[in-house]
């Protein structure tokens, strides 16, 4: 009885959202869950339903991206390493790997480059001949845009050039069953190869952290750690600066409060003096021994008080913040009180003038009476 043919194993790898699961479902008619946007639904290695392509059984293997949204790069590397180790120990080697890349991406950013670098370290240079880089999502760009980006990816060392130089091929997936079959067909004639990580894990008995991919990730994590530590230090310095600034502002505000209290007390004193002056004006004048000298003294005191009031108002105006509505209101009230005092003093002067006139009249009358005597 003939033994059943073992399926050709082909892994589909690439960043999150690059269309890996959609590609697998298209070929195998499987119903693996597809992520929405850049959120991953593949957080572990999955196996599609076996299908037949060009007369051979094929099983496609879905893998999570190294930029998975739910797991860390270390988690993903451990997941992939676990599958690769077990499959090698079972004698089931990969015939090929399809690495999916969105041609719609305007640029291949740092995360995408780091993901491809980990992929390269996992496979090793010797097995690049069993890799097809499939550019996807051509419907999202114009033909010219796609060709320009394809050329850049193939010729620049930062991207896929080195992998292509070691035997990898770059093909277009146009979201059709024909282009998908063409990509898989490129790999089906390959001889299954032991990947670099499989050799390190099984033959050299290394842990994941000691593999070339593990050391690469460790170096990247240390670089990220140092960058984040510097960012934390910068944030701590900024927090320290803000706290110092807050303390300085608090001291400034305290000084402003002290100035306002000082101004408030001075204004209260001034109002008290004005009230006292008003009360003084309401009292009947004492009979002076010499009326003319008493009136002169009263006029001198009035002028002196007015000058003092003007000087204090000027000092307060210079001292207080003119932008403070409360202080301006206090100044207006003080000036109103001053104007009222001026009016009262003006009235007093009028009384003085009347008194002088009355005195002159009385003196004249006394003089007439004396003359008649």
Please tell me the predicted confidence (pLDDT) of residue 137.
Answer: 94
Q: What is the pLDDT of residues 217-226, one digit of tens each?
A: 888 888 888 9
Q: Do the beta carbons of residue 181 and residue 53 sit within 8 Å? A: yes
Percent with pLDDT over 70 in the chain = 84
Higher pLDDT: 95 or 266? It is 95
Q: What pTM value is reported for the model? A: 0.62
Does the structure show a pLDDT above 70 at 243? Answer: yes
Please tell me the predicted confidence (pLDDT) of residue 263.
Answer: 84
Q: Do the beta carbons of residue 170 and residue 133 sit within 8 Å? A: yes
Q: Which domains does the chain have, with CATH numbers?
A: 8-210 (3.40.50.300), 236-372 (no CATH)
Dist. CA 322–CA 326, nearest whole Å: 10
């Amino acid at each position: 009885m003939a033994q059943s043919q073992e399926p050709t194993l082909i892994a589909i790898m690439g960043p999150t959202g690059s269309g890996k699961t959609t590609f697998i479902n298209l070929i195998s008619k499987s119903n693996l869950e597809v992520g929405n946007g850049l959120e991953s639904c593949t957080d572990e290695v999955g196996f599609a339903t076996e299908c037949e392509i060009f007369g051979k059984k094929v099983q496609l293997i879905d893998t999570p991206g190294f930029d998975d949204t739910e797991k860390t790069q270390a988690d993903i590397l451990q997941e992939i390493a676990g599958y690769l180790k077990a499959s090698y120990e079972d004698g089931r080697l990969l015939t090929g790997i399809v690495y999916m890349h969105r041609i719609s991406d305007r640029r291949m950013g740092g995360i995408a480059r780091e993901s491809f670098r980990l992929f390269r370290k996992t496979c090793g240079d010797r097995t690049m001949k069993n890799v097809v880089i499939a550019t996807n999502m051509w419907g999202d760009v114009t033909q010219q845009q796609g060709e320009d980006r394809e050329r850049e990816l193939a010729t620049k060392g930062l991207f896929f050039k080195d992998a292509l130089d070691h035997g990898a091929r770059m093909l277009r997936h146009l979201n059709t069953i024909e282009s998908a079959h063409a990509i898989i067909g490129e790999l089906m004639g390959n001889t299954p190869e032991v990947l670099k990580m499989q050799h390190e894990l099984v033959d050299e008995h290394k842990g994941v952290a000691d593999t070339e991919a593990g050391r690469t990730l460790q170096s990247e994590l240390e670089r990220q750690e140092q960058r984040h530590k510097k960012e934390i230090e910068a944030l701590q310095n900024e927090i320290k600066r803000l706290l110092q600034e807050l303390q300085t502002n608090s001291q400034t505000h305290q000084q402003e409060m002290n100035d306002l209290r000082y101004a408030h007390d001075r204004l209260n004193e001034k109002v008290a003096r004005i009230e006292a002056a008003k009360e003084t004006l309401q009292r009947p004048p004492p009979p002076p021994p010499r009326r003319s000298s008493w009136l002169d003294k009263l006029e001198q005191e009035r002028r002196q008080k007015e000058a003092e009031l003007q000087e204090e108002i000027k000092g307060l105006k210079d001292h207080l913040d003119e932008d403070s509505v409360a202080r301006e209101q206090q100044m207006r009230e003080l000036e109103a009180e001053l104007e009222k005092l001026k009016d009262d003093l003006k009235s007093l002067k009028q009384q003085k003038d009347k008194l002088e006139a009355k005195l002159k009249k009385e003196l004249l009358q006394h003089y007439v009476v004396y003359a008649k005597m």
